Chains A and B, each alone.
Chain A
Amino acid sequence: MTKDRKPPHDTGDETLDALLGGYASDARPHPNDRKIAINLALAAFDEAQTSAQTQQAENKDKSFFQGIPFLSRLTSRPNREKGSPHMSTQSKWKPAYGIVGMLAVVAIAGAAAITTTGENSTQPLFSSVSESLTSASGNRSGGNGPLINPENTLAQSTELAQSGNQGSQQRISAPPPPVATSDMPEPHADTSMFGSGMARAEIEAPAESFDDRFNRAGRDAVTIGDAAPMTIARADTDQAEDLSNATQEEMISRQSNVEHEAMMLRKQIEVLELRGQLKRAERDRRQTEAEIRELAEAQRPNQDRLAAAASRELTENPDKAVALQDLSVGPDGSVSSLNPNIAAGAAQGLFGDLSVKPTENPAAPAPMGFANNNLMDDQETFSSALPEPQIMAAAPPPPVPAGTPSLLRQAETRSRVAEMDRLREAYREGRLQRFSRPEPRPVESATWDRFQSFADYQMTRTDTNPVSTFSVDVDTASYAMIRRQILREGRLPQRDSVRVEEMVNYFDYHYAKPMSRDVPFATTVAVTGSPWAAGRKLMHIGIKGYDLPETERPRANLTFLIDVSGSMRNSDKLPLLKRSFIRMLDALHPEDRVGIVVYAGAAGVVLEPTEVANKGQIITALNNLRAGGSTAGAAGIEQAYTLARAVYDSDAVNRVILATDGDFNVGISNHDQLKSYIETQRDSGISLSVLGFGMGNLNDQLMQTLAQNGNGNAAFIDSDEEAEKVLVEQAGATLFTIAKDVKIQIEFNPATVQDYRLIGYETRALARQDFDNDRIDAGEIGAGHSVTAIYEITPVGAMTSANAADTTLRYTPRAMSVSDAAASRTDEYAFLKIRYKQPDEDRSQLITRAISAEDEALLFDPCNGREDCSKAEYPVARNDIGFATAVAGFGQMLRGARATSGFGFRDVADLARAHAADDPRRQSFVRIVERAAELAGE
């Protein structure tokens, strides 16, 4: 790198270089920015595609019209001379002119409106619209009708067409033939749909260009009107009727295209509107932040008064002094020293929800500039001393997603600014009693947060906390998502999209199988050395669910609830979805039933429950699905459940399978309501699984939540291979639950295990007492599913009783030798308990077993290379454990866990390669790790 040579003693340049080099060098977009920008671009892309199609259609129509010489006037501008040589042939079709002309003008004007918008390279229009949106803030109350009315143009051009038509009629001496009048109502009906009740366009700039266009359309209309009187002649009504019908059909189909395009335009306007709102929200945020800063400044000189007022208020009116307690009162009721940080922090607590960009965005300015470590410490001590948790000074601000562009949020921001004004006023005047904690607002953070954020488990000491409890998780969505991010997008995955247990559970580990349905699990346990932490061990717990033989499978009643919104048009969304479901039909039995409900802007039943025996019918219904279309109907999810309920069979599996790219606009917009609706349905026997497609829009967190509450699973389908795996190979596991509310509890033996850490399952943690509480919901296991949990443990130095007084280091354990392990058979690492319920029962069953050093010995391969020795003889295959270890290591590294800091991607790749055997999925994993190594610059 050849940098510019610096003049000597040029200190200015050094500062400049350091400043430029460091400024914004790690600026990272907020996930929402990312999503909005990409969706905007996609909307523009869609629109460009549509206008290209319109252009094509127009060209086609042009040639169609040119075949009919007179009508070519409609499509070719500017006006032809009136003494056209075609004139004589035109005369006989006179009566149809009015109708055809009118329709044509409607169609062309509409198309022109749309095409021209598309041609405008989108950007100037975008900015002018968003500017206007910004300036026209607040006056959009009902939200009825888009800001720009493409319909407006249509309506006006239609008027022109009609006036043209009337004009021509006035000049026609012969009475119009019946065909014309009988056809009249139709265009009226159509145009009234567009034109009714539409106000003039509210925006100046676009309206002007629209004006231009409709003037042009008007010229066309006038052309027709002028041409008409010149061509009166014998009325060959039949011929005219034929032509008029044919043309009219063409026109109507074109008009429906136009309607469709108008819809596309409206959608685009929605996006623009969102963008405008986003801008406004951002401005509001900046303003608010500035005010808060100001407040923080203003409040400093007031501290003494604050303290005095606080103590006064508390003595006089303890009930109202909750906020004051926040500020200044210790647990004993006395006024504690008012450190400015605490005061500021309390103010932050009070107005916490004003910090529009909370810590979730590391690149954002630190909220209000006065949160610092010192403050955090103070708050911790302070709040822990308070008796009531709800009056903690450091109450974290509710997670307000940054820049969520909704009217609601905008209104919220405004009301908060107003609230701020009031509070600031009060602060200045010392009227502190006016302070009260703002009501916590329900914030639908999940709408924009794609992934639930969670912290990794850390080592826990066995002597203080020997019990670890969690719910099983058989989902594998996370693996498919990280695969997509690494291989297709070519970037290291978002941290919170990585759930280690889902990655580990993606692979098949040949665990021992349970023999009957009565005890539906077999457990496999193994203890190995940890490859990333010397001296530590990994304790693998593998659970294999009973796999239902084909003959034992219950009947399945499936209802597909399919998202067909415009964004599903990507090749990796709806087309893949169709192929996936069609594949799945092969895994179903002829007597199983499938119903299909779609949702986009509205919802509708596409296929009544149909037996899989009529596969053709189901396939046709699936193949007919089109993204972007909409059908009339009520809320999608309710329709799906209604449909499922109609064929409900208590002996069958009744399941709704929701397939979406992240648009959960299924009719119930409040996520909590949606959750409880799904729970209610689950309790009455209909479960829910969720399949995610595509990435740009995916709401992983909601997907997980819904599936968990619906006793179903969540999968992410990124390829045909994945569809094959989830919907065909593992159809049994996906569809048939063999046990529900499966919980695992491990009690570690303090004599042998110094501390432990569960790898993954962070989002599935349960409280110790929840294990024995049958009312607590937990994960389901499907037929043939397997679940792996891995603990990292630090063995106590004296693992063997024989040398308890050994002088070896207590906290630096040695590697166990076979003989050691053999000599200490009675020494147990831990005790494993599994609780589960049969799918139709409410009382749980318990399975237990000890995990001992013996489980370590089992790993040693007694075959020792002998060819006649079958792997099946051993409870645990080394390859399986080795590979699971590699996957667990990889997952932790992607999450940036410290625990694996000494271990690189290349080490994982080596480990995985050594244990991949000839399994193509494992080999694919190795490639993913190698790619990640490249991306990480290893």
Chain B
Amino acid sequence: MVRTLSDLELAQQAAAGDRGAIELLLARHYDLIYRIAVKWAGNQTDGQDIAQNACLKLVTVLPKYEGRARFTTWLYRVVINVAHDWHRKETRHQHMAEIDDALLPPNMSDTPEARAEARQILGAVQTLPKPEKDALMLVVSEGMSHAEAAAICKVKEGTISWRIHEARKKLKALANDGVPA
């Protein structure tokens, strides 16, 4: 009978060379991969690239998944790392990341001013040091607890709190620099 295979089972089958298992696993999680990719990239075009790279990466690293962490936790880690690698390589993204207006929450995209402000803030988030950006995004954007974010980043919970604090401080400084009081 048709039954639902767990992510771990699928990962194991894929590692053993089952093409169908990897297809299924990717089909199951592609939406999540894509969302992480888009959030970390700041826009959909780059997100697509990152999501593709992440799928490719998964093919090679799947055998390393042993089921110690939840699959999605592990998946976050893989996709976020791919996103960082991608940013390192894409020189044209050394400057401010492009932000898709279409992805802005409705109440923040009503006026051009609101959109500009939103773009600026999100662009600033993209310039944060990677560990701080990750912590901030996981907790504030993905709505995770500090414990969950800590599991993904492989650090202590306290470190996550500290990184978020740092991130906020930097963003505030950036905002103040940008708009002199």
Taking Cβ atoms with an 8 Å cutoff, the residues of A that contact B are: 1-4, 10, 12-13, 15-25, 27-29, 33-34, 36-38, 40-42, 44-46, 48-49, 121-123, 126-127, 275, 279, 282, 286, 363-366, 369, 483-484, 487-491, 569-573, 694-696, 718-719, 721, 924, 931
Chain B residues positioned under 8 Å from A924 (CB to CB): 1-2
- Residue pairs across A and B with Cβ atoms less than 8 A apart, 16 shown, are A4-B161, A12-B175, A21-B141, A22-B106, A25-B35, A28-B31, A33-B51, A37-B33, A38-B27, A40-B56, A45-B59, A126-B53, A279-B49, A366-B102, A573-B20, A719-B1
Q: When the two chains form their complex, are residues A572 and B39 in contact, meaning their CB atoms are under 8 A apart?
A: no
Q: When the two chains form their complex, are residues B4 and A488 in contact, meaning their CB atoms are under 8 A apart?
A: yes
Chain B residues positioned under 8 Å from A570 (CB to CB): 18-20, 23
Residue of A282, A490, A569, A695 touching B48 (CB-CB under 8 A): A282
In the complex, per-residue mask of B20-34: 1 if CB is within 8 Å of any chain A CB, else 0: 101110111011011
In the complex, per-residue mask of B107-129: 1 if CB is within 8 Å of any chain A CB, else 0: 11000000001100110010000
Chain B residues positioned under 8 Å from A49 (CB to CB): 17, 19
Residue of A12, A490, A718 touching B4 (CB-CB under 8 A): A490
In the complex, per-residue mask of B50-62: 1 if CB is within 8 Å of any chain A CB, else 0: 0111011111100
Chain A residues positioned under 8 Å from B101 (CB to CB): 365, 369
Question: Which residues 158-176 of B have a CB within 8 angstroms of A?
Answer: 161, 164-165, 168, 171-172, 175
Q: When the two chains form their complex, are residues A22 and B108 in contact, meaning their CB atoms are under 8 A apart?
A: yes
Q: When the two chains form their complex, are residues A36 and B122 in contact, meaning their CB atoms are under 8 A apart?
A: no
Chain B residues positioned under 8 Å from A121 (CB to CB): 60
Query: In the complex, how many angstroms separate the beta carbon of A719 from the nearest chain B beta carbon?
Result: 5
Chain B residues positioned under 8 Å from A718 (CB to CB): 2
Q: When the two chains form their complex, are residues B22 and A123 in contact, meaning their CB atoms are under 8 A apart?
A: no
User: A22 to B110, alpha carbons, bound, how many Å?
Assistant: 14
User: A3 to B141, alpha carbons, bound, how many Å?
Assistant: 11
Q: When the two chains form their complex, are residues A23 and B28 in contact, meaning their CB atoms are under 8 A apart?
A: no
Query: In the complex, how many angstroms separate the beta carbon of A54 from the nearest chain B beta carbon?
Result: 14
Q: When the two chains form their complex, are residues B18 and A571 in contact, meaning their CB atoms are under 8 A apart?
A: yes
User: A123 to B52, alpha carbons, bound, how many Å?
Assistant: 10
Q: Is B153 an interface residue (CB 8 A)?
A: no
Residue of B27, B35, B141 touching A696 (CB-CB under 8 A): B27
Residue of B3, B59, B164, B172 touching A12 (CB-CB under 8 A): B172
User: A29 to B48, alpha carbons, bound, how many Å?
Assistant: 8
Q: When the two chains form their complex, are residues B27 and A489 in contact, meaning their CB atoms are under 8 A apart?
A: yes
Query: In the complex, how many angstroms separate the beta carbon of A403 from the nearest chain B beta carbon?
Result: 8
Q: When the two chains form their complex, are residues B44 and A363 in contact, meaning their CB atoms are under 8 A apart?
A: yes
In addition to A20-B136, A127-B53, 6 A-B residue pairs with Cβ atoms within 8 Å of each other are: A4-B164, A23-B103, A44-B60, A483-B2, A694-B23, A695-B27
Q: When the two chains form their complex, are residues A44 and B38 in contact, meaning their CB atoms are under 8 A apart?
A: no
Q: When the two chains form their complex, are residues A41 and B172 in contact, meaning their CB atoms are under 8 A apart?
A: no
Q: When the two chains form their complex, are residues B59 and A48 in contact, meaning their CB atoms are under 8 A apart?
A: yes
Number of chain B residues close to chain A: CB under 8 A: 70
In the complex, per-residue mask of B127-170: 1 if CB is within 8 Å of any chain A CB, else 0: 00000000011011101111100000000000001001100100
Q: When the two chains form their complex, are residues B140 and A16 in contact, meaning their CB atoms are under 8 A apart?
A: yes
Q: When the two chains form their complex, are residues A484 and B4 in contact, meaning their CB atoms are under 8 A apart?
A: no
Chain A residues positioned under 8 Å from B56 (CB to CB): 40-41, 44, 122-123, 126
Question: With contacts A28-B31, A45-B22 known, is A40 near B55, CB below 8 A?
Answer: yes
Chain A residues positioned under 8 Å from B60 (CB to CB): 44, 48, 121-122
User: A38 to B104, alpha carbons, bound, how many Å?
Assistant: 27
Query: Could you say which of A1, A24, A29 has the most chain B C-beta atoms within 10 Å of its C-beta?
Result: A24
Question: Which residues 68-90 of B have a CB within 8 angstroms of A?
Answer: 85, 89
Q: When the two chains form their complex, are residues B2 and A487 in contact, meaning their CB atoms are under 8 A apart?
A: yes
User: A25 to B14, alpha carbons, bound, how many Å?
Assistant: 30
Closest chain B residue to A491, Cβ basis:
B28
Q: When the two chains form their complex, are residues B105 and A18 in contact, meaning their CB atoms are under 8 A apart?
A: yes
Query: In the complex, how many angstroms separate the beta carbon of A660 from the nearest chain B beta carbon?
Result: 16
Q: When the two chains form their complex, are residues A33 and B89 in contact, meaning their CB atoms are under 8 A apart?
A: no
Q: When the two chains form their complex, are residues A488 and B24 in contact, meaning their CB atoms are under 8 A apart?
A: yes
Residue of B17, B23, B165, B171 touching A38 (CB-CB under 8 A): B23
Closest chain A residue to B39, Cβ basis:
A24
Q: When the two chains form their complex, are residues A363 and B103 in contact, meaning their CB atoms are under 8 A apart?
A: yes
Chain A residues positioned under 8 Å from B117 (CB to CB): 15
User: A694 to B44, alpha carbons, bound, how many Å?
Assistant: 28
User: A728 to B20, alpha carbons, bound, how many Å?
Assistant: 25
Taking Cβ atoms with an 8 Å cutoff, the residues of B that contact A are: 1-5, 14, 17-20, 22-24, 26-28, 30-31, 33-35, 38-39, 44-45, 47-49, 51-53, 55-60, 85, 89, 100-108, 117-118, 121-122, 125, 136-137, 139-141, 143-147, 161, 164-165, 168, 171-172, 175
Query: In the complex, how many angstroms separate the beta carbon of A848 from the nearest chain B beta carbon?
Result: 41
Label chain B's interface by main secondary structure.
helix
Query: In the complex, how many angstroms separate the beta carbon of A797 from the nearest chain B beta carbon?
Result: 42
Q: When the two chains form their complex, are residues B105 and A364 in contact, meaning their CB atoms are under 8 A apart?
A: no
Query: In the complex, how many angstroms separate the beta carbon of B28 from the nearest chain A beta carbon?
Result: 5
Q: When the two chains form their complex, are residues A38 and B26 in contact, meaning their CB atoms are under 8 A apart?
A: yes
Chain B residues positioned under 8 Å from A28 (CB to CB): 31, 34-35
Q: When the two chains form their complex, are residues B105 and A484 in contact, meaning their CB atoms are under 8 A apart?
A: no
User: A487 to B168, alpha carbons, bound, how many Å?
Assistant: 42
User: A15 to B27, alpha carbons, bound, how many Å?
Assistant: 34
Chain A residues positioned under 8 Å from B146 (CB to CB): 2, 4
Closest chain B residue to A696, Cβ basis:
B23
User: A521 to B117, alpha carbons, bound, how many Å?
Assistant: 68
Chain B residues positioned under 8 Å from A126 (CB to CB): 53, 56
User: A282 to B44, alpha carbons, bound, how many Å?
Assistant: 11
Query: Could you say which of B19, B30, B137, B171 has the most chain A C-beta atoms within 10 Å of its C-beta?
Result: B19
Query: In the complex, how many angstroms separate the beta carbon of A575 from the nearest chain B beta carbon?
Result: 10
Chain A residues positioned under 8 Å from B48 (CB to CB): 29, 33, 37, 282
Query: In the complex, how many angstroms separate the beta carbon of A566 from the nearest chain B beta carbon?
Result: 10
Q: Which 5 A-B pairs have the closest CB atoms?
A: A22-B105, A41-B55, A365-B102, A570-B20, A29-B34
Question: With contacts A12-B171, A24-B103, A696-B23 known, is A37 near B30, CB below 8 A?
Answer: yes
Q: When the two chains form their complex, are residues B30 and A38 in contact, meaning their CB atoms are under 8 A apart?
A: yes
Query: Could you say which of A126, A490, A572 has the most chain B C-beta atoms within 10 Å of its C-beta?
Result: A490
Residue of B30, B47, B140 touching A20 (CB-CB under 8 A): B140
Chain A residues positioned under 8 Å from B39 (CB to CB): 23-24, 27
Chain B residues positioned under 8 Å from A44 (CB to CB): 56, 59-60
Q: When the two chains form their complex, are residues B20 and A571 in contact, meaning their CB atoms are under 8 A apart?
A: yes
Query: In the complex, how many angstroms separate the beta carbon of A276 from the nearest chain B beta carbon?
Result: 12
Q: When the two chains form their complex, are residues B164 and A571 in contact, meaning their CB atoms are under 8 A apart?
A: no
User: A34 to B125, alpha carbons, bound, how many Å?
Assistant: 27
Q: When the two chains form their complex, are residues A364 and B26 in contact, meaning their CB atoms are under 8 A apart?
A: no
Chain B residues positioned under 8 Å from A2 (CB to CB): 145-147
Q: When the two chains form their complex, are residues B52 and A37 in contact, meaning their CB atoms are under 8 A apart?
A: yes
Query: In the complex, how many angstroms separate the beta carbon of B97 from the nearest chain A beta carbon?
Result: 12
Chain B residues positioned under 8 Å from A571 (CB to CB): 18-20
User: A877 to B18, alpha carbons, bound, how many Å?
Assistant: 45
Query: In the complex, how many angstroms separate the beta carbon of A936 from the nearest chain B beta carbon?
Result: 15
Chain A residues positioned under 8 Å from B121 (CB to CB): 15-16, 19
User: A376 to B13, alpha carbons, bound, how many Å?
Assistant: 51
Chain B residues positioned under 8 Å from A123 (CB to CB): 53, 56-57, 85
Q: When the two chains form their complex, are residues A19 and B102 in contact, meaning their CB atoms are under 8 A apart?
A: no
Q: When the two chains form their complex, are residues B19 and A27 in contact, meaning their CB atoms are under 8 A apart?
A: no
Chain B residues positioned under 8 Å from A490 (CB to CB): 4, 28
Closest chain A residue to B51, Cβ basis:
A37
Q: When the two chains form their complex, are residues B23 and A42 in contact, meaning their CB atoms are under 8 A apart?
A: yes
User: A127 to B18, alpha carbons, bound, how many Å?
Assistant: 26
Q: When the two chains form their complex, are residues A484 and B2 in contact, meaning their CB atoms are under 8 A apart?
A: yes
User: A121 to B168, alpha carbons, bound, how many Å?
Assistant: 37
Query: In the complex, how many angstroms separate the beta carbon of B144 from the nearest chain A beta carbon?
Result: 7
User: A571 to B14, alpha carbons, bound, how many Å?
Assistant: 11
Question: With contacts A4-B165, A37-B55, A38-B55 known, is A27 near B38, CB below 8 A?
Answer: yes
Chain B residues positioned under 8 Å from A931 (CB to CB): 4
Query: Could you say which of A12, A45, A121, A489 has the most chain B C-beta atoms within 10 Å of its C-beta?
Result: A45
Query: Could you say which of B4, B14, B52, B144 has the most chain A C-beta atoms within 10 Å of its C-beta?
Result: B52
Query: In the complex, how many angstroms separate the beta carbon of A97 from the nearest chain B beta carbon?
Result: 38
Query: In the complex, how many angstroms separate the beta carbon of B156 from the nearest chain A beta carbon?
Result: 14
Chain B residues positioned under 8 Å from A365 (CB to CB): 100-102
Chain B residues positioned under 8 Å from A694 (CB to CB): 20, 23
